Amino acid sequence: MKKLFTTIAVLFNLEMHAQNAANIVPAPAVYTEGKSSFVIDQKTALFATTPDAREIAMRFNAHLHTLGLTELPVISVADKNINPIVFGISPNHDYHGISESYTIEVLGKSRIMVIGRSKRGLFYALQTLIQLLPPKNDGASQYPLTIRTLSIKDGPRFPYRGMHLDVARHFSSIDFVKRYIDYLAMYKFNTFHWHLTDDQGWRIEIKKYPLLTQVGGYRAQTLIGPYGTNKYDGKKYGGFYTQQQIKEVVKYAAERFITVIPEIEMPGHALAALASYNYLGCTKGPYKTAETWGVFDDVFCAGNDSTFTFLQNVLDEVMELFPSKLIHIGGDESPKTRWKTCPDCQRRIRDNKLKDEHELQSYFINRIEKYVNSKGRNIIGWDEILEGGLAPNASVMSWRGEEGGITAAKQQHNVVMTPGNYLYFDHSQSNNEDSITFGGYNSLEKVYSYEPIPSALSPEEGKYILGAQANLWTEYITNPKKVEYQLFPRLAALSEVLWSPKEKRNWEDFERRLPAVFDRYTKAGINFSTAYYDIQTKVIPATDGSGIAWQLSTKNKAVDIRFQDYKKYQQSAVPPAKYGTKYTVPVKVDSSVSLIAYLTDAMGNALPMSVVQDFSINKATGKRIELDLPASPSYAGSGGFTLVDAVRNTKGMSKSSQFLGFSGDDLVATIDLGTIQTISQITLFAFEQKASWIYRPAFVSIAVSADGIRYEPYAPVIIAEDGSALTYRANSKTATRFIKLQAKNAGVIADGNPGAGNKAWLFVDEIEVN
């Protein structure tokens, strides 16, 4: 990856001037630039008159040290012979009345004024000032340094700017957690959501319940590869943080003005706790810490008072460690299966005159909330805590799209937006991802495009949107380098969504800053994704209205794209750059073939970036198709054309953009072949992954028509299964023009299955006619 970026950087002939405003991320609210410069050399001093300002000045010195520069003296008495960098705090130094605001004034040769409205604001000013200097290990990192005359007035758009890290599925060391916090501070985030417990591990020491870490902190083995493979590594896995380590992290974060919000999952995602103390579950066990991913039926028993005693004792120790106003209690993906057959839970429902198990969940959350409120704190939970009625003082994290957040805001509850289809950083950021991810595709541009305040809210309702955060779940993220790869550069994009004024956000301007951003990552040793420079591929209708074409592009304008038959590419002894065809216009594809596209430099040498695409051309390819109901916006693909683009999905959720997804709705598709043709086979390709709430169709039926009015059944449909891939095929020779295919959604997910009680997803990717 680093070799690739180096090549790209050279090709772009990047000239990255540290003082260029285009290099500051997130973009300041107000920026103006002059023509002269301030020179930093060994005669420069840092001027600070208060302990808080002096502390920030010392942080600036520490950064100079990382650049290999001599630290500058810190003075508190003015000296007319010294051109100072002044660090100050002025509560009346107002920018939009925001305590986190700051200003930076580079006043020619005389001085730099760095003023925060608070110590926090001054810390954020420091992050901007650092970006005005050359990056680490840059040849320019030696005195004198110059900073162009400029004026910055800046402050955040949202009060909540968060990032999440799951350490339950895969553990992160204390050193890496601190580094993660440094990354957040660099981009002015102020909240770290620490996901500490789940089915696969309990990661926080609770002194009253030592088995939580002794037993629940470890699992016997871990799933290998994608969900559903049923292959395991046979190795014990685990780890946990002592309370002293927790205090150390909380202090470290506070010094960087980041609040740590702990998450203790309840009532679901509790297997690690149940394995430690069997009496907490409805069946009383035995249980074991989960070895695979997904949602499990065994949850905390809501009918047993000892469950609440346990959770209150746990929360007492948690709240002693974490001073955050908000305590995250999970609340998501909690099946009601055990509660429906548990005598204690059913007695609880009767005694409290609850309607059903959904109201029992509301009872559970309300009871926990009252306890947390009694300690002067408030709860926050995933949007499922809306079920059965929202607790009075609860805040909501909206992850299943924006609907939960909209509902909560309309009820005047605070909301943090974190929709999976924009802000799940465990999703791939490349259409050509070669590592395992949980699924989904959230590109850099998609993250940047996110608007946290939904248009469905009035201006008054929109005030309840505190901000947003991205979530980094670690089922398939096993080490720090992979965490960094999933985090960068999307963290930069999200920082601008949350910090910069809405009217200041501009994708083209952000793109212009990316080379400098990538340069900083490289010189800081950060492992980041270069997916931004990928070959972008898209199958489109052919311009002549018959069939399909392969459209290719890249952000790298200094290279050529070439393509050729993949088999010939593999067999050829000639360097591929000398053999392929230079791409200029979309490539018409009129026969089944595998094509490879790759980049070449100005000398014709192939770069280490390529894409292979298989095409399966058939009678339906590129034909007109109509859907009775559109796919969900989260999995809309290219509309109905996705089903006739000659591309079969072979990588599951790693290529989720190749699917059409329907939440609770049926697929009803009508294909017009254009003329009456003789056909012998119709095939639908679908997908099932129950852990993601994606279920096979209840049935598939096919009808054909010569005139598009009178339809007759085609033939019985036979299903074939290959893991998660499902093939529905019907065989019968007939002459027809119109084909109507229906795939019936599974409907509401049944008890005992992942996502029970929710609408099932139906995923389809291709219809072939032969």
- The residues assigned a catalytic role are 198, 269, 333
Strand partners, 328: 263, 380
| CA gap 265, 195 in Å, rounded | 8
| CA gap 671, 642 in Å, rounded | 12
Q: Is the dihedral of CA 440, 444, 447, 450 positive or negative?
A: negative
Q: Is the dihedral of CA 10, 14, 16, 21 positive or negative?
A: negative
Report yes or no: 273 and 216 within 8 Å, Cβ to Cβ: yes
In 3D space, the residue among 528, 531, 659, 538 whose CA is nearest the CA of residue 597 turns out to be: 538
| CA gap 183, 580 in Å, rounded | 42
Residue 387 φ then ψ, to 5°: -65, 130
Q: Is the dihedral of CA 286, 288, 292, 293 positive or negative?
A: positive
Q: ∠ at Cα 164 (523, 429), nearest 5°?
A: 60
* Cβ-proximal residues to 350 (8 Å cutoff; 6+ apart), any chain: none
132: which 2 tokens?
């005005």
530: which 2 tokens?
């270069």
1: which 2 tokens?
């990856």
Buried b (16+ CB within 10 A) or exposed e, 647-679: bbbeebbbbbbbbbbbbebbbbbbbebeeeeeb
Q: ∠ at Cα 277 (273, 280), nearest 5°?
A: 80
Report yes or no: 509 and 500 within 8 Å, Cβ to Cβ: no
> Which region holds residue 237: left if phi is over 0, alpha if psi is between -120 and 50, else beta?
beta
Instruction: List, as one string, the DSSP characters of 676-726.
Output: EEEEEEEEEEEE-BGGGTB---S-EEEEEESSSSS-EE----EEEEETTEE
Q: Are strands 660-663 and 761-769 parallel, antiparallel or unpaired?
A: antiparallel
Q: Are strands 560-565 and 160-166 parallel, antiparallel or unpaired?
A: unpaired
Three-state DSSP at 624 gives strand
Report yes or no: 597 and 576 within 8 Å, Cβ to Cβ: no
The 10 Å Cβ neighbour count of residue 572 is: 14
Report yes or no: 611 and 635 within 8 Å, Cβ to Cβ: no
Residue 45 φ then ψ, to 5°: -125, 155
Buried b (16+ CB within 10 A) or exposed e, 148-171: bbbbbbbbbbbebbbbbbbbbbbb
The 10 Å Cβ neighbour count of residue 687 is: 24
Long-range contacts of 716-725 (CB under 8 A, 24+ apart): 723/228, 723/229, 724/228, 724/652, 724/687, 724/688, 724/689, 725/649, 725/650, 725/652, 725/685, 725/687
- Going along 441-592, which residue ranges are E strands? 465-470, 536-541, 548-553, 560-565, 581-582, 587-589
* Preceding peptide of 489 cis, ω within 30°: yes
Q: At what angle do helices 357-374 and 305-321 cross, to 10 degrees?
A: 40
Report yes or no: 392 and 369 within 8 Å, Cβ to Cβ: yes
| CA gap 602, 101 in Å, rounded | 47
| CA gap 559, 534 in Å, rounded | 12
